[in-house]
Amino acid sequence: MKKPRIREKHRAFLEHIKQEKSTFYIYLILRALVILVMIAQFFNRNYENVFLCILTLLLLIMPSVIEMNFRIDLPNTFEIIIMLFIFAAEILGEIQKYYIIFPFWDTMLHTLNGFLAAALGFSLVDILNRTERVSFKLSPFFMAMVAFCFSMTIGVMWEFFEFGMDTFFHFDMQKDTIINTISTVKLDPTGGNTPVIINDIYSVAINGKELNLGGYLDIGLIDTMKDLFVNFIGAVVFSVLGYFYIKKRGKGTVARFFIVKKSKKNKHE
């Protein structure tokens, strides 16, 4: 009984995603690339990366699955960017080591995450505002504020996740930063609360062994704050766009390419 249901759901998924050719073609290209990477990682015995590829394949179908199950319409631009975001984060970032090769890669993705999360939060409120059963209507300003707060909450929760993975599983998701100046009260000779500033740090000692790292090794704080700051920028940008979207009701704005709408019926029906 389960196999026919799985086949039926898979067929419904394909019929659904085929309705938008651009989205379908992007999905096929990304899926093929992920499968090729997965095969290569399997033969290289990088089984952790094989798992990441499987996870990526599942994540790529999630936008369409959510559309079908929750009866919503994701704009093509929004859906394509989400799929590209997943591929850039998991395949390029993790497996191809773009996070290490390109210092801006993580920053770019966190900025985009802030933008997309704000779009999602804004869409949820917009759907409620359009629902007759809901007794309240938020002004454009408050809708923008909700979108901003929603995006920042998602960003904070992700940083909690990174911190948890680094703490309990000894990952390094919160990448370290080399700095040359520190200011700390820990080195106050009087034991007081006066910060001591140390400049021109070029090496550190770990367990008595000096390492020439070019500076002091900050363990994740600067990376976390940078991620939250660029998330903030992405959230502010979309919140402003969303504000004018409501003011003009979708005329001549970029926001309309990212606003999720409630559909009257599933596309595959």
Query: pLDDT at position 141, please?
Result: 94
Sign of the alpha-carbon torsion through 117, 51, 26, 69: negative
Q: pLDDT tens across 165-186, in order?
A: 999 999 999 999 999 999 999 9
Q: How far apart are CA 148 and CA 233, in angstroms?
A: 10
Spatial CA neighbour of 121 closest among 92, 143, 102, 95: 143
Average pLDDT, rounded, for the chain: 89
- Joined together, the tokens standing for residue 212 give 């020439």
State the average pLDDT over residues 224-228: 97
- Entry pTM: 0.89
Q: pLDDT tens across 250-265, in order?
A: 666 789 899 998 876 5
Q: Where are the domains of the chain?
A: 2-172+224-262, 177-218
Query: Is the confidence at residue 122, as pLDDT, over 60?
Result: yes
- Joined together, the tokens standing for residue 156 give 């904070």
| Beta strands 72-73 and 209-211, pairing class | unpaired
Sign of the alpha-carbon torsion through 69, 161, 176, 189: positive
211: which strand partners? 204
State the average pLDDT over residues 64-82: 91
